[in-house]
Structure 1
Amino acid sequence: IKDLILLCGRIFLLLTLLTLIISVTTSWVNSFKSSQVYLKEEDEEKNEKRQKLVRKKQQEAQGEKASRYIENVLKPHQEMKLKKLEERFYRMTGETWKLSNGHKLGGDEDLVLESESQTSSETANREAAKRRNLPKPVTKVSPAAEQPTQKEVLDLPEEPPEIAEEVVTVALRCPSGRVLRRRFFKSCSSQVLFDWMMKIGYHTSLYSLSTSFPRRTLEVERGWSLQDVGITVDTVLNVEEKEQSS
C-alpha cells in the first residue's frame, strides 16, 4: 500500500511539473509572438511614413519642375505670342511707330520726328485725294424706312374661343420667318386681316397677303367676309412685299 501511495504521489508531482512547464512555455511563446506582431506593425508604420515622405518629396519636385517650366517656357512663349499679335495689330492700324524702342533726346530724334510727320502728312494727303476722287455713295432708302407712320390705333375684334362654332384659325407667315396665329369668326369682315397685318407692323401700302396653295394674292372687297374670300377652314397666309414700281 505504501508503495502504491508513493507511486501515486510521484505521478501527481510529475503531472504538476509537466503542467508548470507547459504553462511557462505557452506564455513565453505568446509573448514572443506578440513582440513579433508589434515589431511588424512598427515596421509597417515606419514604411508608411517613409512612403508618405517620398510621395511628398516627389510632389514637391513635380511642383518645382512645373513652376520652372511655366517660368522658363510658357511665360516667354506667351509673351512672344502677345508681342507678335501686338505687332500685327499695329501694322494693320498703321501705327508701326509704336513698335520702335524710341530714341534719346537730342541727336537723331529731330530727324525721326520730321520723317514721321512727313510720312503721316503724305498719307493724309493721299487719303484726301482718294476721298475726292471717290464717287458719292447713293443712299437708297429701304422700303422698310419708307413705311408710312400708322397714326390710328387699329382695334381687332375679340378673339373667339376654340370651341365656338363658325371659327377659323388664320396664321400669318411674316417675311422674318415669324408665324402669328389668331382665331376669327367666318362672318368677320375680310378687312380685319389687313388691319391685323398693319397692327403687327406691315403696312398695306408696302405689303400684301397671299395664299400658299395655290399661291395667289388675296383680294378683298368692301363688305366681304372671310367666308366670301374663301377662308372657310384654318388657313396660312403669307405676308409678302409688294413690287416697287421703278
Structure 2
Amino acid sequence: MASRGVIGVFLLSALPLLCLELRRGIPDLGIKDLILLCGRVFLLLALLTLIISMTTSLFNSFKSSQTYLKEEEEKNEKRQKLVRKKQQEAQGEKGDEEIVLENASLTSFETTNREAAKRRNLAKPLTEVSPSAEQPSQKQVPDLPEEPSETTEEVVTVALRCLGGKVLRRRFFKSWSSQVLFDWMMKIGYHTSLYGLSTSFPRRPLEVAQDQSLADIGITVDTVLNVEEKEQSN
C-alpha cells in the first residue's frame, strides 16, 4: 500500500513535466517525438518503481529481523525463567530430603541408644559381681612405679587400646613384673574381675604372673594390647 501511494505521488509530480514538454514542443511535436517522450516518462517511472520496491523490501526485511530477534529474546527469557523455577523447586526438594535424612538419622541414633541401654540392662544380672569387685576402692588400686624416660635402655612402650577406641601409652622396664600391666588397667578403671588383656596379632589372652617379667611373657618390643570384657558365667 505504501509503495502504491509513492508511485502515485511520482506520477502526479511527473504530469506537470509532461505538460510543460508538450507545451514547448506543440509547434513541431510529431508522433515520433510524442512516443519518445512517453517512453522517457515510462522509463523514469519504471526506475522509480524499482528503487521504491528495493527500498520497501529492505525496510520490510529489517523490520522482520527486528521482530524475529525480539521474539527470540522473549523465548530465551521464558526458558531462563523456566530453568530458574525448576532449579528452585529442585533445591527445595533437596532441602526437604536433607531434613528428612537428618530426622531419620536422629531417630536411628536414638533407637540405637535405647537398644544398647536395654541390652546393658538385660546383661547386667549375668555380669553382676560383688560391689567390691565392680568398683574397687582407692586402696585396692595399686600404685604404679614411676615411668622411665625415653632415653633409658631396656624400656618398652605398651599401647593400651580401650573399649571405646581410646589408646593410652606408657613406658615400662622389661624387667618389671608383668602384673604391672593389670595394675595399669585397673588404674584407668578396668577391673580385672570384669576385663582382661589380649595381644593384637596373633590375638590371644595375655597371661601375667607376679613372678614373671614383661620379657618373660614376650613383651620385649613396643606392643599394642587390647582391653576385652570377660565372659561371665551364669
User: TM-score category by the smaller chain?
Assistant: 0.3 to 0.5
Question: Bigger relative contact order, structure 1 or 2, given CA contacts below 8 A and separation 6+?
Answer: 2
Q: Which has the larger radius of gyration?
A: 2
| TM-score normalised per structure 1 | 0.42
TM-score, normalised by the number of residues in structure 2: 0.44
